[in-house]
């Protein structure tokens, strides 16, 4: 920085030099001898419409900040940090099944997600929150002698530096501050603070100067650790007099600092930080706070009294002259009265500088962001200054380790600590997992997008990542439940089935087994149609291989190839095969005698022995054995069973064992079950076709149960779309209950899609769902809010009620709830999910 520029902005060269001398863990030693402690505060995920949660967070903030009184100064810094997409997707890639036929499509998807996110958003970002307190400050020391010694040392060091002499960093300087740091950590523990490591500390110092750049975390860290003076190693100039341009080799970014200069008289529910995190571009926030002395001539009480008397005289003069009293004078008197009341009640008083900053690749883009930011703040009565002459001052004043001094007079706000906490610090809007597949964006609006979900996606820069398997893993910080099951609820036509198929497709690429139960029998036809088109055009070989890898199983008795697909003697072994065979026969032969039961159990045992010997057998061989019996009733039952197994839906379960049965070991299976005629309730009066369908349902249930618990070390995902069809009969309900109970101990994840929230609320099963995607069902808004444990208010009803196509409320395993817009990033893959066909040309 040239001396001319320094003088133009009224800054000393020394001020703009790097002030950091050394760091150790979360401690910072500055060149003036002051020491600061930095603490990371995890983002407080408060639902955007959860007013009760926000009030509770403000209470927590108040209690923790009140403990900072002993430090006098503090800094609260919210920093946007680029998401390391490469690291995120590398971790996800470690779980991809690279030895399967899905590997090529998985590579295509992972690479495509990174490219699409960067192209559409820029670099996705997260917010980091830190609080910094001085353990020893050159600016504020209660010990006059210590202050003088620090000031003398600082003057001596500056003189030595001018002469070319430099003092080395004191050895083990941090040991002196161990007890003070422990006390500070305890004072702030209510905010769940964590200490920084030395590397995190160095990187945070550097981050102040590289906001807006594309950077590599590791490279920046190495440079700073190599030489502390590299912390501020960027070229800084002023563009158009009032905008900072920062350059680093061939990269450049423009940055603007906007101090808050006006806030509403009633700061209740101001929630500045909550507004900022809802913007679709990153905005940094730095607060330099200082607890004001209350008593004494220079204390806030004395100043307030003097200002009150002055304003009273102004009001009296205006009244005597017949002038209408200035509204600002009246409001100022009221504010001072409020301040006096807070002082009398012992309320801490804070003065602070609150500065916002944001970056862009061009001045034009910066201006657009400025308009959006100021409009957003104006909606809550907050105004900022362009601070054209103070940009460099604000750049350096917002560095870590700075505090307010008597020289800082501009842009300062004064208020009680409780009013200060109305800013609602440390929040962010997040839902989903840190590592996972990108499935959409957080929607920050309450309004309806009128079905224009693309605009909702473009309005948000907050991606939603999902890895359903994380629900079952230990040591995931912040996770509130280990329940692996997922419910996707909502009316037809809202995008429910699209999301279910999207989740199924992405997760089927992992090292898992996946099963999709398709009651509408629409997937095979659509997938094969897409495959035929791709083959004809010689396109997208990755998707071709993926489709061919799926084991499609159709429960259609009219196709001889499907006969025996659920034959227990073919697809099961041992006790499992015997038990299911007995259950199926018993369901067909209602009111049979003990001798008949003995007959078919003996026949099953005989046929199982033949299978063990290597013979190709099936359930019809059991019936043949029964027909050889010396007991007439057993022979008759065998003849009846053999007859029923032909030309009916029972042929799916009773076969000669020659056809391929459903495969418990297949990586990806789609099971089509259309054609089942299930009764609403099982009674003796049910029709024959319904009774036969129940037998098939037993087979499905047994397969699903064993699919989930066959191997504890292999995760399994079972998707049941249109689950209301299962819920219509006790046999179907039993199947769902069995699958849910397999659950966590067997690494089995059930994804249940259904229209009504009533289908996921049952009195006879308390397993529940750990994750919920709630699409709109207009007749069940209050019921869904109850299920999501969201308070019913006009705001929350709008929040859910205004969701449109492709939008839902996502309730994750961390207890977070946000409105999201589902995004299928790959149109070429989305064709698989296009099951609504029409011959009309105008729709």
Identify the pLDDT of residue 142: 39
Identify the pLDDT of residue 841: 41
For residue 592, what are the contacts with CB-CB under 8 A and spacing of at least 6?
Answer: 586, 637
CB 130 within 8 A of CB 204: yes
Long-range contacts, 156-161 (Cβ 8 Å, 24+):
157/31, 158/14
State mean pLDDT over 375-393: 94
d(CA 414, CA 352): 7
In sequence order, what DSSP letters do the residues of 200-255 get, joined into one string? Answer: HHHHHHHHHHHTTS---HHHHHHHHHH-GGGGG-SEEEEETTTEEEEEETTEEEEE
Identify the pLDDT of residue 798: 94
Identify the pLDDT of residue 154: 56
Is the pLDDT score of 7 beyond 50? no
Please give the angle made by the CA atoms of 614, 616 and 620, to the nearest 5 degrees.
135
d(CA 79, CA 45): 16
707 vs 472: which has the higher pLDDT = 707
111 vs 153: which has the higher pLDDT = 111
Is the pLDDT score of 16 beyond 80? no
Q: What angle separates helix 594-612 from helix 632-644, to the nearest 10 degrees?
A: 60
pLDDT tens figures, 274-313: 999 889 899 999 999 999 876 554 555 555 555 555 545 5
Question: What is the percent of the chain with per-residue pLDDT over 90, rounded to a whole number?
Answer: 56
Beta-bridged to residue 486, according to DSSP, are: 751, 771
d(CA 658, CA 801): 54
Is the pLDDT score of 374 beyond 80? yes
**Mean pLDDT lowest among 96-105, 119-128, 341-350, 394-403:** 341-350
Beta-bridged to residue 809, according to DSSP, are: 774, 819
d(CA 843, CA 91): 42
3-state SS, residue 142: coil
φ/ψ region of 78 (left if φ > 0, alpha if ψ in -120 to 50, else beta) reads beta
3-state SS, residue 499: helix
User: Model-level pTM?
Assistant: 0.85
| CA distances (Å), origin 713, targets 564, 716, 746, 792 | 29, 10, 8, 42
For residue 696, what are the contacts with CB-CB under 8 A and spacing of at least 6?
Answer: 555, 566, 649, 650, 652, 653, 673, 676
d(CA 279, CA 288): 23
């Amino acid at each position: 920085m040239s001396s001319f520029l320094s003088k133009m902005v009224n800054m000393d060269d020394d001020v703009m030099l790097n002030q950091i001398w050394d760091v150790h863990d979360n401690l910072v030693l500055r060149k003036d001898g002051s020491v600061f402690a930095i603490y990371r505060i995890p983002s407080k995920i408060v639902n955007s419409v959860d007013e009760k949660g926000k009030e509770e967070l403000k209470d927590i903030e108040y209690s923790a900040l009140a403990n900072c009184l002993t430090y006098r100064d503090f800094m609260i810094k919210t920093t946007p940090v680029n998401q390391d997409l490469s690291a995120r997707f590398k971790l996800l890639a470690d779980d991809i099944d690279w030895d399967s036929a899905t590997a090529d499509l998985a590579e295509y998807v992972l690479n495509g997600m990174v490219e699409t996110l960067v192209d559409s958003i820029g670099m996705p970002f997260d917010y980091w929150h830190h609080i910094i307190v001085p353990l020893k400050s050159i600016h504020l020391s209660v010990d006059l002698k210590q202050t003088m010694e620090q000031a003398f040392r600082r003057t001596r060091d500056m003189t030595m530096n001018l002469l070319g002499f430099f003092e080395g960093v004191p050895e083990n300087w941090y040991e002196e501050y161990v007890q003070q740091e422990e006390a500070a950590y305890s004072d702030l523990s209510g905010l769940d603070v964590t200490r920084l490591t030395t590397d995190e500390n160095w990187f945070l110092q550097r981050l102040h100067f590289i906001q807006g750049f594309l950077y590599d975390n590791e490279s920046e860290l190495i440079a700073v650790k190599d030489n502390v003076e590299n912390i501020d190693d960027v070229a800084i100039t002023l563009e158009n007099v009032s905008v900072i341009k920062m350059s680093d080799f061939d990269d450049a970014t423009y940055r603007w600092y906007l101090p808050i200069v006006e806030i509403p008289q009633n700061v209740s529910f101001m929630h500045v930080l909550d507004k900022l995190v809802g913007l679709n571009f990153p905005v940094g926030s730095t607060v330099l706070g200082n607890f004001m002395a209350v008593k004494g001539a220079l204390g806030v009480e004395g100043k307030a009294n003097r200002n009150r008397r002055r304003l009273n005289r102004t009001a009296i003069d205006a009244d005597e002259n017949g002038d209408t009293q200035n509204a600002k004078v009246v409001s100022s008197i009221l504010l001072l009265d409020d301040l006096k009341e807070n002082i009398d009640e012992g309320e801490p008083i804070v003065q602070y500088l609150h500065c916002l900053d944001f970056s862009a690749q061009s001045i034009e883009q910066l201006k657009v962001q400025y308009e959006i930011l100021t409009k957003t703040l104006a909606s809550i009565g907050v105004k900022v200054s362009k601070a054209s002459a103070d940009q460099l001052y604000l750049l350096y004043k917002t560095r870590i380790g700075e505090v307010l001094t008597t020289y800082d007079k501009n842009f300062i706000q004064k208020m009680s600590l409780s009013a200060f906490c109305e800013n609602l610090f440390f929040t962010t809007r997040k839902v989903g997992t840190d590592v996972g597949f990108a499935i959409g964006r957080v929607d920050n609006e309450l309004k309806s997008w009128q079905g224009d979900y693309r605009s909702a996606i473009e309005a948000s820069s907050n991606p939603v990542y999902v890895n359903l398997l994380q629900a079952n893993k230990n040591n995931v910080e912040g996770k509130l439940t280990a329940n692996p099951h997922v419910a996707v609820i909502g009316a037809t036509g809202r995008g429910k089935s699209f999301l279910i198929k999207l989740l199924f497709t992405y997760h089927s690429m992992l090292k898992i087994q996946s099963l999709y139960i398709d009651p509408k029998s629409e997937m095979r036809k659509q997938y094969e149609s897409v495959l035929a088109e791709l083959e004809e055009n010689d396109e997208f070989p990755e998707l071709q291989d993926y489709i061919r890898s799926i084991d499609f199983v159709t429960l259609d008795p009219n196709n001889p190839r499907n006969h025996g697909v659920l034959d227990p003697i073919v697809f099961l072994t041992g006790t499992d095969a015997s038990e299911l065979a007995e259950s199926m026969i018993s369901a067909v032969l209602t009111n049979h005698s003990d001798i008949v039961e003995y007959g078919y159990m003996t026949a099953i045992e005989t046929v199982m022995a033949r299978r063990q010997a290597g013979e190709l057998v099936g359930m019809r061989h059991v019936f043949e054995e029964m027909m050889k019996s010396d007991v007439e009733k057993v022979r008759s039952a065998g003849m009846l069973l053999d007859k029923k197994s032909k030309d009916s839906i029972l042929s799916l379960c009773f076969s000669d064992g020659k056809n391929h049965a459903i495969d418990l070991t297949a990586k990806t299976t789609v099971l089509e079950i259309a054609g089942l005629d299930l009764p609403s309730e099982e009674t003796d009066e049910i029709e024959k076709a319904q009774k036969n369908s129940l037998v098939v349902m037993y087979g499905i249930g047994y397969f699903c149960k064993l699919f989930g618990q066959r191997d504890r070390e292999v995760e399994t995902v079972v998707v049941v779309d249109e689950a209301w069809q299962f819920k219509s009969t006790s046999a179907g309900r039993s199947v769902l209950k069995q699958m849910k109970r397999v659950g966590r101990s067997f690494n089995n994840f059930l994804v249940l899609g259904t229209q009504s929230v009533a289908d996921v609320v049952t009195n006879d099963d308390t397993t529940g769902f750990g994750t919920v995607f709630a699409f709109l069902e207009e007749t069940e808004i209050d019921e869904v809010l109850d299920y999501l444990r969201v308070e019913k208010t006009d705001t929350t009803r709008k929040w859910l009620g205004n969701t449109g196509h492709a939008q839902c409320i996502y309730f994750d395993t961390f207890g977070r709830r946000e409105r999201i817009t589902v995004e299928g990033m790959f149109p070429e893959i989305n064709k698989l999910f296009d099951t609504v066909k029409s011959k009309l040309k105008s729709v």
